[in-house]
C-alpha cells in the first residue's frame, strides 16, 4: 500500500474512533449515578431492557443514537433524545423497539424526542414492522412544551399513528415499566396488547398531586393507577408483571405465537463476501472532501463477489448504475463517480457532478428497478448538478427533473448511504431524506448542506460585509479574516455528520465496514410490506 493510502486509512479510522467515543458516552444516558438510581428501584435501564428482550445471537441496529446531540445544553442535554430505538429480533422475528430512557430527565419528551418517536413509527408503518413500546416517561418536558405539543408533527401525532397502525394490522405491544402520565397514557392503551410492572409501573391521566389540586381527592399514585388497579379493577391494562424481566419474558412469549404475514418477495441468493477486502475502504476514501477517488473501488468492497452487472457503463459516467447483491439481496445501485471521467465525445466531466446524460441514465435505471421489484441503494458523494450555459442549453433542468421524478415516485424501497458530499439539489436527486429512504445512513466523512463550506463561507462573507458597510463600518483585512473565520467555524459545524444526525436528517452515523449489515437488515425489514402501488412510468418526463 502507498503512503497516500496509509494516510487516508489513519484519518478515516480516527474519524470512526471519534464517532465510537461519542456513542459510548451517549450510551450512558443521564450518567452512571442515575443508572444506579434505576437499579436501586429494581428497574433495568432502557438499554438493558432492550438487550434482554432482543435475541442476542442476531444482529441489531440502533436508530437515532445521535438524536439531540449538543441541541439542549441549556437544559442539561438530552442524550439519544431520551429514547432508545433499535431494530432487532425476538424469537427470530424482526421488530422495532422504542424504550424511554428514565435516566434522562425521567424520560421526559423534548421536541427531538417526539421527532424520534415519530421516526420509529414511520419505520414501522413503511415496513409493516411490529413495534414494541417500553414506556417509562414523565411526559412532555414543560419548559419546551410549545415546541412539542400542538403542531401536526408533535406529541399528538404519536397516538394518531397508533390508530393508523392498528387499522393496517401492524402489531403494537406496550409495557408500562415506570411512569406513564397524561396524554402519554393513550400510547400503551391504543396498542394491541399492554403490560404493566407491579409497584414500579403506573398509568393515569393525572397523578395524585394534580388530582388533589383539581378535585380535592387525597390518593396515592399506586392506588390511583398502579398495576393492580389498572389490571384487576379498571381492566385498562391486559397483563401484570412482577418485575422488568417478567414483563419482557411475557413479550417474548407473545411474539413466540404470532403467525406469518405476506412478504414483498425481494430476491435473495446465498450471500457471498465482497471480492475485495472491505477494510481497504478506509484507505481508499480520501481525507479531503475535494479529492477525487474511484467509486468502483468502494462498490467492489460493498457488494457480493461477482454480482455487479453495470447498466449503461459507457454513458453518463458521473453516475454509476448497476444491479448487484448485498448479503444475498438483489439491489440496484446508483452511485456518484468521484473521479474525473471522459464522455464519448472526449470531453472531461467533473467527478461528483450530475450531468444531463447521467441524470437521464439514472432515471431510466430507477424505472427498471421498479419494474423488476429490486430495492434501490444510493451511494451519495455529490456536489450537485452541472451549471453553465452549455448545461442549460442542453436541458439539464429537464433531465434533472426526470431523475427527481423517477426517485420521487419509486415504489420499491430505497436506501441512502451518504459517503461524502451531499450538496444542494444533488441531495434531492440522490434520494435525500425528503424522498423517503427506508434508512438514511451516513459515514463519518459525510457532509450535508446547500453547498460546501468553502463556497458557502465566501457567499456569507459577502452578505455580512455588505450589511456592515451599510451601517458605516470599515472592513479592514483583519476584520474580514475574523469574519471569515467565524463564518467558517459556524458553517463547518452545521455540515458535520453529527449536526445532521442530531436532527434526524440521517438515521445513524455508521462504521463503513458495517454498511452491508445495515442494508441487509433494512431490506429484510422492507420485505415485510408487499408492494401494492404500481410504478407510473408515464409520470416521468421523457
What mean pLDDT comes out for the span 101-118? 96
pLDDT (average), residues 149-171:
93
Instruction: State residue 453's pLDDT score.
Output: 63
Cα 1 to Cα 8, 11, 452, distances in angstroms: 11, 15, 30
Tell me the pTM.
0.94
pLDDT value, residue 345 = 83
Kindly report each contact of residues 164-167 with a partner whose C-beta sits within 8 Å and lies 24 or more positions away, as own/partner: 164/125, 165/121, 165/124, 165/125, 165/131, 166/190, 166/192
Whole-number pLDDT of residue 388: 75
pLDDT in the model for residue 142: 86
What angle (nearest 5°) sits at the alpha carbon of residue 171, between those of residues 148 and 159?
A: 20
At 462 the pLDDT is 77
Asked whether the beta carbons of 260 and 94 are under 8 A apart, the reply is no
* pLDDT of residue 482 exceeding 80: no
Q: What integer pLDDT is reported at residue 463 of this predicted model?
A: 80
Lowest mean pLDDT segment, chosen from 178-182, 210-214, 360-364, 525-529: 210-214
pLDDT band for 485, please (50, 70, 90 cuts). Answer: confident
The pLDDT of 348-359, averaged and rounded, is 91
pLDDT of residue 393: 66
Provide the angle, in degrees to the nearest 10, between the axes of the packed helices 46-53 and 244-255.
Answer: 40
Reply yes or no on whether the pLDDT at 368 is more than 90: yes
Contact 409, 386 (CB under 8 A): no
Pick the more confident residue, 226 or 453. Answer: 226
CB-based burial label for 378 (10 Å; 0-12, 13-18, 19+)? buried
Range in 343-352, 384-393, 501-510 with the lowest mean pLDDT:
384-393
User: pLDDT-based confidence at 256, cuts 50/70/90?
Assistant: very high
Q: How confident is the model at residue 456 (pLDDT cuts 50, 70, 90)?
A: low
Instruction: Tell me what the pLDDT averaged over the chain comes to.
Output: 92
Assign 487 a pLDDT band (cuts: 50, 70, 90).
confident
Burial 203-240 (b: 16+ CB within 10 A, else e): bbebbbeebeeeeeeeeebbebbbbebbbeeeebbbbb
**What pLDDT digit, counting tens, does each position of 374-385 carry?**
999 999 999 988
Amino acid at each position: 500500500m502507498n503512503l497516500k493510502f496509509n494516510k487516508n486509512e489513519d484519518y478515516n479510522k480516527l474519524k470512526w474512533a471519534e464517532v465510537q467515543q461519542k456513542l459510548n458516552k451517549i450510551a450512558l444516558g443521564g450518567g452512571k449515578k442515575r443508572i444506579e438510581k434505576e437499579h436501586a428501584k429494581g428497574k433495568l435501564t432502557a438499554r438493558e431492557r432492550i438487550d434482554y428482550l432482543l435475541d442476542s445471537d442476531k444482529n441489531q441496529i440502533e436508530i437515532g443514537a445521535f438524536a439531540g446531540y449538543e441541541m439542549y445544553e441549556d437544559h442539561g442535554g438530552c442524550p439519544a433524545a431520551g429514547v432508545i430505538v433499535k431494530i432487532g429480533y425476538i424469537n427470530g422475528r424482526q421488530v422495532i423497539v422504542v424504550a424511554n430512557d428514565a435516566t434522562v430527565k425521567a424520560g421526559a419528551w423534548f421536541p427531538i424526542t417526539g421527532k424520534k418517536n415519530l421516526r420509529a413509527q414511520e419505520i414501522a408503518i413503511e415496513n409493516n414492522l411490529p413495534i414494541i413500546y417500553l414506556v417509562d416517561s414523565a411526559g412532555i418536558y414543560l419548559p419546551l412544551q410549545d415546541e412539542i405539543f400542538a403542531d401536526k408533527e408533535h406529541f399528538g401525532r404519536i397516538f394518531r399513528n397508533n390508530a393508523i397502525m392498528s387499522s393496517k394490522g401492524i402489531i403494537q405491544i406496550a409495557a408500562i415499566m415506570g411512569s406513564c402520565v397524561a396524554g402519554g397514557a393513550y400510547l400503551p392503551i391504543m396498542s394491541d396488547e399492554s403490560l404493566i410492572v407491579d409497584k414500579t409501573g403506573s398509568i393515569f391521566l393525572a397523578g395524585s398531586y394534580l388530582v388533589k389540586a383539581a378535585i380535592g381527592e387525597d390518593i396515592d399514585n399506586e392506588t390511583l393507577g398502579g398495576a393492580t388497579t389498572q389490571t384487576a379493577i379498571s381492566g385498562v391494562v391486559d397483563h401484570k408483571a412482577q418485575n422488568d424481566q417478567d414483563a419482557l419474558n411475557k413479550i417474548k412469549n407473545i411474539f413466540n405465537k404470532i403467525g406469518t404475514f405476506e412478504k414483498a418477495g425481494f430476491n435473495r441468493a446465498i450471500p457471498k463476501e465482497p471480492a475485495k477486502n472491505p477494510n481497504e475502504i478506509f484507505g481508499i476514501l480520501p481525507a479531503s472532501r475535494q479529492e477525487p477517488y474511484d467509486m468502483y473501488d468502494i462498490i467492489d468492497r460493498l457488494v457480493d463477489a461477482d454480482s455487479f452487472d453495470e447498466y449503461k457503463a459507457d454513458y453518463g459516467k458521473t453516475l454509476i448504475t448497476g444491479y448487484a447483491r448485498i448479503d444475498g439481496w438483489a439491489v440496484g445501485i446508483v452511485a456518484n463517480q468521484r473521479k474525473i471521467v471522459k464522455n464519448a465525445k472526449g470531453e472531461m466531466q467533473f467527478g461528483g457532478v450530475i450531468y444531463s446524460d447521467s441524470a437521464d441514465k439514472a432515471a431510466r435505471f430507477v424505472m427498471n428497478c421498479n419494474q423488476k421489484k429490486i430495492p434501490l441503494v444510493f451511494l451519495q458523494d455529490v456536489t450537485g448538478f452541472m451549471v453553465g450555459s452549455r448545461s442549460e442549453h442542453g436541458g439539464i433542468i429537464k433531465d434533472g427533473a426526470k431523475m427527481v421524478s423517477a426517485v420521487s415516485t419509486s415504489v420499491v424501497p430505497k436506501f441512502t448511504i451518504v459517503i461524502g458530499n451531499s450538496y444542494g439539489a444533488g441531495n434531492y436527486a440522490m434520494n435525500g431524506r425528503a424522498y423517503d429512504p427506508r434508512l438514511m445512513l451516513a459515514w463519518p466523512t459525510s457532509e450535508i448542506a446547500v453547498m460546501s463550506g468553502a463556497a458557502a463561507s465566501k457567499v456569507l462573507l459577502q452578505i455580512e460585509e455588505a450589511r456592515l458597510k451599510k451601517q458605516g463600518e470599515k472592513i479592514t483585512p483583519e476584520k474580514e479574516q475574523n469574519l471569515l473565520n467565524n463564518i467558517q467555524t459556524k458553517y463547518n459545524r452545521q455540515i458535520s455528520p453529527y449536526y445532521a444526525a442530531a436532527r434526524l436528517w440521517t438515521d445513524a452515523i455508521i462504521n463503513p465496514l458495517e454498511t452491508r449489515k445495515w442494508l441487509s437488515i433494512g431490506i429484510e425489514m422492507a420485505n415485510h410490506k408487499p408492494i401494492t402501488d404500481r410504478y407510473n412510468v408515464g409520470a416521468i418526463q421523457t
